[in-house]
């Protein structure tokens, strides 16, 4: 176990409603989420001295501080790589707390990602941007690989070819997520489960991905409050202790288009994160009672199960075939409904669900939870957490 392990804890979570048209500015969404998280933690804005978010977030730390009433900041940071940043924001917060740089740090993410900037759309501006990312995109965009679905479809097709996975195997992830979302009043797809037949009959987005293989585009905000494990003992909520927090970028890493790797059947960056998580925490896959696996696209959930050691290469389709990832299975995942069923808030709502599982307050509570794995965006440099009771 390393120096960071178990020195910090998540003590508050807050969220706005999830919708397709929030009717509010992104700054207001961020302020609402941070205020709700502080209330949940039993803390005041004056207790906060650190903020961390995504480089993609439009709300500066100083603007959020002003809006919430946080008087001053000792620490602020931002993480690149879209959804890959989710758990890394908490890692940054935990490092700041563990080293004494700050006492209470709030990680936040807020956007109008459905009613304003839609991440699922083709972005011609990116391919022409005078940046390294623009140069990288200029190789793939002219071939039609300009949306996340198209980019993931390339890897998914190769995975199917090598390991014999089918579209129905991917669909079982969507069915499980939507089953969990159907009983979550906060989920956009509350009361709307799907069948495998529904999945197979949904329209193609980018073969082999159906519509129901793809996450939502959502409006909303999430905030996570982190403080020391010692201080957490005196706060009202049961703390979710951060047993491990890790980030990783694999060899020959691109942003969603790492097509020059030899295998093209896995997510090496997630394997790197997993190795760190198990080493830091002293735990392993068999110690996890539940997991929140970043599910922007269903094929990458199967690959994560393999990278993280829950099963061997090419074996994820068999691992999930008997309902293992549903409530009552040996590894229930995305018990809030995931980004496919609850909302797509760049994975931050998944961290909140991990906290609820530790607290015992999830709408799909798993029995006797002691440890929860949470992962961030895949196909990009990524991050992960192990939370423990």
Catalytically annotated residues: 294, 344
The helix/strand/coil state of 371 is strand
Block residue for tokens 């094929």? 299
In this structure, the dihedral spanned by the alpha carbons of residues 38, 43, 45 and 51, taken in order and rounded to 10 degrees, is: -60
Phi-psi label, residue 314: left if phi above 0, alpha if psi -120 to 50, beta otherwise: left
User: CA quadruple 284, 269, 245, 14: dihedral positive or negative?
Assistant: negative
The radius of gyration of the chain's CA atoms, rounded to the nearest angstrom, is: 19
Phi-psi label, residue 144: left if phi above 0, alpha if psi -120 to 50, beta otherwise: left
Q: How far apart are CA 7 and CA 90, in angstroms?
A: 13
Contact assessment for residue 186 and residue 342, using Cβ atoms and an 8 Å cutoff: yes
- 371-375 and 382-388: which strand pairing? antiparallel
**Taking CA 100 as the corner, what is the angle to CA 355 and CA 6, rounded to the nearest 5 degrees?**
35
Q: Residue 303 carries which DSSP code?
A: H
Contact assessment for residue 334 and residue 364, using Cβ atoms and an 8 Å cutoff: no
What are the phi and psi torsion angles at 136 (to 5°)? -60, -45
Provide the terminal-to-terminal Cα distance of the chain, rounded to the nearest Å. Answer: 17
CB atoms closer than 10 angstroms to residue 143: 9
Q: How far apart are CA 235 and CA 232, in angstroms?
A: 5
Q: How far apart are CA 100 and CA 78, in angstroms?
A: 19
């Amino acid at each position: 176990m390393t120096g960071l392990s178990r020195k910090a804890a998540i003590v508050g979570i807050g969220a706005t409603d999830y919708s397709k048209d929030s009717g509010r500015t992104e700054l207001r969404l961020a302020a609402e989420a941070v205020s709700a998280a502080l209330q949940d933690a039993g803390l005041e804005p004056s207790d906060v001295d650190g903020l961390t978010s995504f480089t993609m977030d439009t709300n500066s730390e100083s603007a959020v501080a002003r809006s919430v009433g946080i008087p001053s900041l000792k620490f602020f940071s931002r993480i690149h790589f879209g959804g890959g940043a989710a758990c890394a924001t908490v890692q940054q917060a935990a490092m700041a707390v563990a080293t004494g740089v700050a006492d209470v740090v709030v990680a936040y993410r807020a956007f109008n990602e459905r009613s304003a900037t839609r991440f699922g759309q083709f972005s011609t501006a990116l391919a022409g941007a005078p940046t390294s990312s623009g140069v990288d995109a200029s190789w793939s965009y002219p071939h039609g690989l300009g949306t996340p679905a198209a980019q993931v479809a390339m890897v998914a097709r190769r995975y199917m070819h090598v390991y014999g996975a089918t579209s129905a195997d991917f669909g079982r992830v969507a069915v499980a997520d939507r089953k969990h979302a159907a009983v979550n009043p906060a989920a956009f797809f509350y009361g709307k489960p799907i069948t495998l037949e529904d999945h197979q009959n949904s329209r193609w987005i980018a073969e082999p991905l159906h519509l129901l293989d793809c996450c939502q585009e959502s409006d909303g905000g999430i905030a996570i409050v982190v403080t020391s494990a010692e201080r957490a003992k005196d706060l009202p909520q049961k703390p979710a202790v951060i047993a491990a927090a890790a980030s990783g970028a694999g060899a020959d890493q691109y942003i969603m288009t790492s097509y020059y790797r030899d295998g093209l059947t896995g997510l090496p960056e997630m394997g790197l994160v997993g190795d760190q998580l198990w080493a830091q925490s002293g735990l392993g896959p068999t110690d996890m009672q539940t997991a929140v696996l970043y599910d922007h696209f269903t094929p990458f959930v199967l690959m994560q199960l393999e990278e993280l050691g829950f099963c061997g290469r090419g074996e994820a389709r068999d691992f999930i075939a008997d309902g293992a990832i549903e409530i009552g299975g040996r590894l229930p995942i995305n018990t809030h409904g995931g980004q496919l069923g609850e909302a797509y808030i760049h994975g931050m709502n998944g961290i909140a669900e991990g906290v609820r599982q530790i607290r015992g307050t999830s709408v799909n509570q798993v029995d006797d939870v002691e440890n929860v794995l949470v992962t961030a965006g895949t196909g990009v440099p990524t991050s992960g957490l192990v939370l423990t009771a």
